[in-house]
Structure 1
Amino acid sequence: MSAPDHRAALAATRALPGIPVDAEGPVFREPWEAHAFAMAVTLHARGLFTWPEWAAVLADEISRAQAGGDADCGDTYYRNWLATLERLVAEKGVTTSANLARYRDAWDHAADRTPHGKPIELRPEDFAG
């Protein structure tokens, strides 16, 4: 990022105090946020959706979250990003909402049995209801 772009990014993040920054600019709070960001960029590059489509669905997901009580301070932005990803892959037929729910439940089950600080691994038994 060039110096003017860097300054603009830092100025923009000051307007949203919930977005974490370091000396270089905005950063991800958690690794999963970076993964969600990378998945969106990759799926766009593969032609699954256009950026205008992405922006419209993300705006709708943010509006839904706000209607549900999200204060929209920046700390839930990537939850909306993830909801946008899930919605688009279901709408585009990459997977179904039911399959996404199945994996979400399996992930929760695997996370429950995984000690803090250890990698979460999905096993076949995690998919058993």
Structure 2
Amino acid sequence: MIVVGTALVRDGRLLVAQRTRPPELAGRWELPGGRVEAGESEPAAVARECHEELGALVTVTGRVGPDLPLPVGVLRIHAAELAAGSPEPVALEHAALRWIGPDELDGLAWVEADRALVPHLRRLLG
């Protein structure tokens, strides 16, 4: 199974989302995203997940970092930006959202899968 995450960037800042579940991950931060559905492309999954989780419309701009193994498959991160006319992202499925700069990447309480991406995210924001 492929899981996509979204490195949504605006003005040199990255959108991160705080998990509410499962209990062992609640309060930790991640990149928004989710599973790729059967017959769906990865960019289409990124756009769908951002709309479902954030109420936002995004344009996918490329890949970020390597494939990362997950217990359920593989995680692939895609860079994106808000599409023209998109509403401001809101936390529809998360406890909170934050736009962070490159200097805040290391200090964030990331979920483990996303923590491995910090060097790649720093380059994306650089």
Give yes or no for TM over 0.5.
no
Higher relative contact order (CA 8 A, sep 6+): 2
- What TM-score, normalized to structure 1? 0.26
- Structure number with larger C-alpha Rg: 1
Question: Which structure: greater helix fraction?
Answer: 1
Question: Which structure: greater strand fraction?
Answer: 2
